[in-house]
Amino acid sequence: MASSSLSLSCACRAITGTITLPPSNPLPLALEICHCSSCRHSSGQLAISCFACPRSSSDGPPTLNITSKTQPVAYNTSEYLVRYFCASCGASVYMYVPETGDMEVCSGVLEGEGMEEVLRFKQHIFVESSGDGGMSAWVEGPRWKGWAEKSELFQMPGVKEAGEKPRAAEKEGKGERRLQAHCHCRGVEFYVTPPDEEEQGSSSVANDNKNESSQSQTSNNEKWWLRASNTKYLAGLCACNSCRLATGFDIQAWAFVPKTHIRQVDGKEVDFKMGTLKTYSHTPGTYRDFCGKCGATVFWRCEGRRGDVIDISAGLLDAAEGARAEEWLEWRTKVSFEECAANKGLVAKLSEGLKKWGDS
């Protein structure tokens, strides 16, 4: 892609902008994937993909220019970092470091073909924060415990044996296991309960269907969301344009859980108007829910087609074993809508890594 500028947009196009590419900053730009807890809970993602916005000169300002009348909403993750997202659809747009003036742009908002020529994956950072390596298990590359080249490399934990029992640390109350979940500002908090005994005794969809997109599943597939003898929920990764533009990132991780197993902190069944939750709908009957304060993606849901199964954005989950929450979830080994990926190079690496991970 030969161009002197890049265009960006969120899903609803309330936010649009351009990035000027100075001659001193040729393509491709380096793409990093961050796994820190702050990024996971403020985005809802298993990990976020961003790149440093070029500067007009060595001491000049970043070249991002928001061209829309609407400006992104600011959320201070800390005193060192401000995140900006769309108030209408929830898409993360960029992050700003006040102390240095640096700006990190979220990779999923870029428009155009041939993104693999614009952005090239370089490395993972803050992998230690994930506990289990998170999404870095599936995308081969340097895995730094903290900042790149300023910390040690992270060593991936060994693969768990199938059938390991859940940790007692995740049991609460009267022996009930709960998987806690929350956005960064905690304006949205809830927990997930495990499949009950009745579900564990029922049949689930055949293993050879486990790589189908969640959005293509119907009520004809009985218990398709269950895995591991119906003791875990299915989870998967999506590269569709809808997820990319509405989140601001190339890869969206979902956990598929029946509504009856998603509870508010007071124990009541989840209410999609709880706390700071906001809803965006671009297609009749389908809804995306996000936190209106910090911008984290929370749920995807639709009417009728899949009953009461809700997609939970996996970065919100606080599992004791790590970000992948493998004592609760079984991950698909295929990327949904891989053919729709904007950055085909990145998603191809993910697809290859998932296959190897599944074979192991």
What would the pLDDT profile of 223-260 be if each residue is shown by its tens digit? 899 999 999 999 999 999 999 999 999 999 999 999 99
Q: Which of 308, 241, 247 is nearest to 272 (CA)?
A: 308
State pLDDT tens for residues 180-216: 999 999 999 999 999 986 665 444 443 333 334 444 4
- Tell me the pLDDT band of 1, cut-offs 50, 70 and 90: very low
Q: Report whether pLDDT(169) > 50.
A: no
pLDDT for the residue numbered 167: 44
Residue 206 burial (10 A CB sphere; 0-12, 13-18, 19+): exposed
Residues 270, 287 contacting (CB under 8 angstroms): no
Confidence of residue 55 (pLDDT cuts 50, 70, 90): very high
Radius of gyration of the chain (CA): 20
pLDDT at 23: 85
Least confident window among 36-50, 51-65, 90-104, 133-147: 51-65
Q: How many CB atoms lie within 10 A of CB 153?
A: 12
Phi, psi of 259 (to 5 degrees): -55, -35
pTM of the model: 0.90
Are 133 and 31 in contact by the 8 Å Cβ rule? The answer is: no
CB-neighbour burial class of residue 285 (10 A; exposed 0-12, middle 13-18, buried 19+): exposed
125: which 2 tokens? Answer: 């950072």
The percentage of the chain sitting over the pLDDT mark of 90, rounded to a whole number, equals 76
Give the tens place of pLDDT for each residue, 103-131: 999 999 999 888 888 999 999 999 999 99
Helices (H) and strands (E) in the chain, counts: 5, 23
Contact call for residues 139 and 349 (beta carbons, < 8 A):
yes
Tokens 């074979």 locate to: 359
Q: Per-residue pLDDT for 353 more than 90?
A: yes
pLDDT average, residue stretch 169-188? 79
pLDDT, average across residues 146-174: 65
Q: How confident is the model at residue 58 (pLDDT cuts 50, 70, 90)?
A: confident
